[in-house]
Amino acid sequence: MTRTRVLAALAAGALLATAGCGNGFDDSSSDSGQEAGPAALQILIGSSGQAETKAVQDAAAAWASSSGNTATVTPAQDLVQQLGQAFAGDSPPDVFYVDAGRFADYASVGALEPYGDKISNPDDFYESLRTTFTYDGKFYCAPKDFSTLALQINTDLWTKAGLTDADVPTTWDQLTSVAQKIKGSGTVPLALGDTRDRIGAFMVQAGGWITSADGKQATADSPENLQALQYTQGLLKQGLARYPKQLDSGWAGEAFGKGKAAMTIEGNWIKGAMQADFPKVKYTVHPLPAGPKGQGTLSFTNCWGIAAKSKHKDQAIKFVEAMTTVDQQMAFAKAFGVMPSRQSAGAQYTQQFPADKAFIDGAAYAQGPVNAPKMDSVLADFDAGLQGLTNGDPKALLARVQKNTQSALGR
């Protein structure tokens, strides 16, 4: 995580330096420099592995064949670093994956073409995903796919604690109650990731978040966020939740797979990890328990970014159009386990993958990453504070995050 943040900061710095030198990306005419005729699109992806690389390359080849263009798909070794270098060198790929956590940095310096409303039926993308890729009121780029957080339960350890399907928690109070029973059976109740990307779900359930919906105001120091962190701290202090490092694991899914905890909170990527590393572990997936203000979860997503300086914008948009049809999104889902970003694919997806229903349903009440530029160091400091939450001061931590966020947003 530290290396990723450093590279992200370097990339953002390269972007800002380029824009600051009077060589920004936002041309006065969005069609300036456009080349006529067939396009040779360059597409840079952050692939999860060979299955994703092959699926995207096959889809790109099919589009190229039918459209008369060419499309070269390259899996990045380090997407953030390579994009930063390409933008700084004024040679960006035409189309590329954009992580939600980096989106605002790119959009704020004009690196991205705001084409989102040019895709067919843009309202079909889940609202939470459209909001994630909206900056200054413009819907920039089509969400590629997404995941949300849900609650995973080890059925054997659940039964060992004397619990049944009727005991699956739907509120914070119920989560605490079942966790106490699991602890009494000699098992750690909950393996919980130690960053905002997991603990932040409790903040959303309490009605809070780090910034306002438009990303322009700091909202960290609020009674809602304090209630969420105090609840989480209570779980940690009582031994009802443990961080992965306390369970000799690199992430919560690993601790869950090893049987070191009866529950965890992860995204649908846990499915592949469990199949690969812990195929004998039986588990079920459920919506996260609701907090004082109702249901809440976090979403994680990428979009298909198009470079503002691409000479093939029209063809690039047509390429993204082809990649985001329901049929193509379902093909990607079957090939490498992602969830479609179009609502109209939801029923088909849950029919094919019924165990993932809780993840899909979470899109209706999911909070995306902080949608503001220059927040890397602020969020890294917040994570560091959360890692010491057990014996820390939640009020002081939120006050610090508030101050740092206000400073970042005011730059």
Rounded CA-CA distance 151/154 in Å is 10
Strands 142-148 and 138-139: unpaired
pLDDT by residue (tens digit) across 134-154? 999 999 999 999 999 999 999
Q: Please tell me the predicted confidence (pLDDT) of residue 411.
A: 61
* Residue 342: strand pairing partners: 125
Q: Please tell me the predicted confidence (pLDDT) of residue 31.
A: 45
Rounded CA-CA distance 123/9 in Å is 32
Q: Do residues 47 and 16 make contact, with C-beta atoms less than 8 angstroms apart? A: no
Rounded CA-CA distance 394/57 in Å is 47
Q: Please tell me the predicted confidence (pLDDT) of residue 315.
A: 97
- Residue labelled with tokens 């932040």: 200
Q: Do residues 113 and 313 make contact, with C-beta atoms less than 8 angstroms apart? A: yes
Q: Please tell me the predicted confidence (pLDDT) of residue 7.
A: 37
Q: Which CATH number fits domain 150-298+373-409: 2.70.98.40, 1.10.10.60, 3.30.565.10, 3.40.190.10?
A: 3.40.190.10
Q: Do residues 320 and 119 make contact, with C-beta atoms less than 8 angstroms apart? A: yes
Q: Please tell me the predicted confidence (pLDDT) of residue 328.
A: 98
Strands 188-191 and 40-45: unpaired
Rounded CA-CA distance 94/141 in Å is 13
Q: Is 327 helix (H, G, I), strand (E, B) or coil?
A: helix
The token pair that represents 278 in the structure block: 């812990």
Q: Please tell me the predicted confidence (pLDDT) of residue 10.
A: 41
Cα 142 to chain centroid distance, Å, stands at 14
User: According to DSSP H, which parts of 21-169 are helical?
Assistant: 50-67, 79-88, 100-108, 127-132, 155-160
Q: Please tell me the predicted confidence (pLDDT) of residue 215.
A: 87
pLDDT below 70 — which residues of the chain? 1-33, 35-37, 411
Rounded CA-CA distance 341/345 in Å is 8
Rounded CA-CA distance 399/221 in Å is 5
2-147+300-367 folds as D-Maltodextrin-Binding Protein; domain 2 (3.40.190)
pLDDT by residue (tens digit) across 242-286? 999 999 999 999 999 999 999 999 999 999 899 999 999 999 999
**Nearest to 256, CA basis, from 283, 290, 276, 233:** 283
Q: Please tell me the predicted confidence (pLDDT) of residue 35.
A: 67
Q: From the CA atom positions of the chain, what is the Rg in Å? A: 22
Task: Name the segment(s) of the chain with CATH classification 3.40.190.10.
Answer: 2-147+300-367, 150-298+373-409
Q: Do residues 71 and 60 make contact, with C-beta atoms less than 8 angstroms apart? A: yes
